[in-house]
Amino acid sequence: MGWTTLLLALREIRRNLMRSFLTVLGIVIGVAAVVTMVTLGNGATQSVSDQISSLGSNLLMLRPGQRMGPGSGSLGAPSFKAEDAEAIRAQVGSLKAVAPTVNRTAVVVVGTRNWATSITGSNSDYFTAGNWTLAEGRLFNATEERAGKAVCIIGATVRKELFEAHSPVGDTMRIKQFSCEVIGVLTAKGQSAMGRDQDDTVVMPLRTVQRRLTGKQDVSTILISMQDEASSEQVINQISLLMRERRKLSDNEDDNFSVQDTKEIAKTLSGAIGTMTALLGAVAAVSLLVGGIGIMNIMLVSVTERTREIGIRLAIGALEKEVLMQFLTEAVVLSAFGGLVGLLLAAIACYGLASMLSLPFLFSPGINLLAFGFSAAIGVIFGYVPARRAARLDPIEALRHE
């Protein structure tokens, strides 16, 4: 009986191929949209947490000014100096690395090639704090840091843009009016959570950048890497106290600096993306519902259109239950098939979009199963009313129907 009804339903769908396709289009789009949204959202979340961990473990960022928002910067707040970093290193416990940094964009020239990149001045701790490893060459030595020698360590992108396949270690690059010797190349890290190319960078000793590029003693950000077992709350407290003291803030004054925990940033970011994903998924789910209503609509029309056929079936001896099952099966087969096509579309869309947005493509069986189950359920729910209407027809009336 079950097999027969399935056969009847398939026959009917095949007989109206074009209409069947249009009927399920809503479900196809709905399922594809939901699955694509959720899959890409998961990919984005994954990508953010990956990037944050590549930023450095247990990393704190000390910046002048309160609450860095877009464009707000360190308005009015005094900058840090290299001595502040020294003080933190000396007075705050359980730290792994303290790296005062200063940034400047500059054009780097090698032979006939030039490349605008971000120049960072810091010390060897910078590489520890930022989870950087060397692909080749060496880090700065103490003399170079103290003397502000013109040596630099370059990122993978800079290497690619300025040097041929040969090793750049020992070569010199020209930055503005001075030359600097390449002593190391960093291992590639890829894009940051914000989409910036982290490998598009040149790192020099802090003093070199201050003296030759910025011309000031200022330090823009101090990166602080904590030991694994350290409590970030405690460390942040100690740093805050120390900075208030060094900046001579009285008790009723607010901090004119901020300490950010990258873990917190990661949590906030993933939370925001999660909310976004849920929202987009919900919007897409509405289209699934609309698709279901589309199926009901077509099934109702189909029952009216096929009244005579139903009459023939009933006269021949079809039971009420069999006619009900036939129409219900048709609706479920249609919507489930639509669901499958939707999943296929979603897989293609996710694959394409993920590589376009450089997000990882995380296939999630859960959401795929859920979307498929939901589409089949839509067939049952929205197919029931038309199917019952068909089954309850009076055979005599139905046969008379034109």
Q: Whole-angstrom Cα distance, residue 282 to residue 364?
A: 17
Closer by beta carbon to another protein, 253 or else 305: 305
Cβ-contact 211, 148 below 8 angstroms: yes
In whole angstroms, how close is the CB of 10 to another protein at the nearest point?
A: 13
Site map 12..51 versus another protein, x via CB under 8 A: ---x------------------------------------
Interaction residues for another protein, span 152-171 (CB under 8 A): none
In whole angstroms, how close is the CB of 306 to another protein at the nearest point?
A: 9
Closer by beta carbon to another protein, 83 or else 394: 394
- Binding test (CB under 8 A) with another protein, winner from 241, 293, 315, 357: 315
317 binds another protein (CB under 8 A): yes
The amino acid that residue 114 corresponds to is N
- Binding test (CB under 8 A) with another protein, winner from 320, 352, 355, 358: 320
Cβ-contact 99, 126 below 8 angstroms: yes
Q: Whole-angstrom Cα distance, residue 299 to residue 288?
A: 17
395 binds another protein (CB under 8 A): yes
- Binding test (CB under 8 A) with another protein, winner from 174, 308, 388, 389: 308
Closer by beta carbon to another protein, 96 or else 308: 308
Interacting stretch for another protein, rule CB under 8 A, among 30-38, 89-97, 196-204, 308-316?
A: 308-316
9 binds another protein (CB under 8 A): no
321 binds another protein (CB under 8 A): yes
Q: Is 46 helix (H, G, I), strand (E, B) or coil?
A: helix
- Binding test (CB under 8 A) with another protein, winner from 118, 289, 322, 389: 322
- Binding test (CB under 8 A) with another protein, winner from 104, 149, 207, 313: 313
In whole angstroms, how close is the CB of 311 to another protein at the nearest point?
A: 8
Closer by beta carbon to another protein, 274 or else 395: 395
Q: Is the dihedral of CA 112, 118, 123, 124 positive or negative?
A: negative
Q: How many residues bind another protein (CB under 8 A)?
A: 23
Cβ-contact 40, 278 below 8 angstroms: no
- Binding test (CB under 8 A) with another protein, winner from 173, 175, 284, 314: 314
Q: How many CB atoms lie within 10 A of CB 271?
A: 11
C-alpha torsion 18→19→20→26, nearest 10 = 110
Question: Number of helices and strands (H, E) in the chain?
Answer: 13, 12
Cβ-contact 352, 40 below 8 angstroms: no
Minimal CA–CA distance to 226: which of 348, 1, 381, 59? Answer: 59
Cβ-contact 24, 338 below 8 angstroms: yes
Q: Which DSSP string corresponds to 150-175? A: SEEEE-HHHHHHH--SS--TT-EEEE
Q: Whole-angstrom Cα distance, residue 141 to residue 234?
A: 31
Interaction residues for another protein, span 261-300 (CB under 8 A): none
In whole angstroms, how close is the CB of 299 to another protein at the nearest point?
A: 18
Cβ-contact 276, 84 below 8 angstroms: no
Residues lying near another protein in the complex (CB under 8 A): 1, 4, 7-8, 11, 15, 308-309, 311-322, 395-396, 399
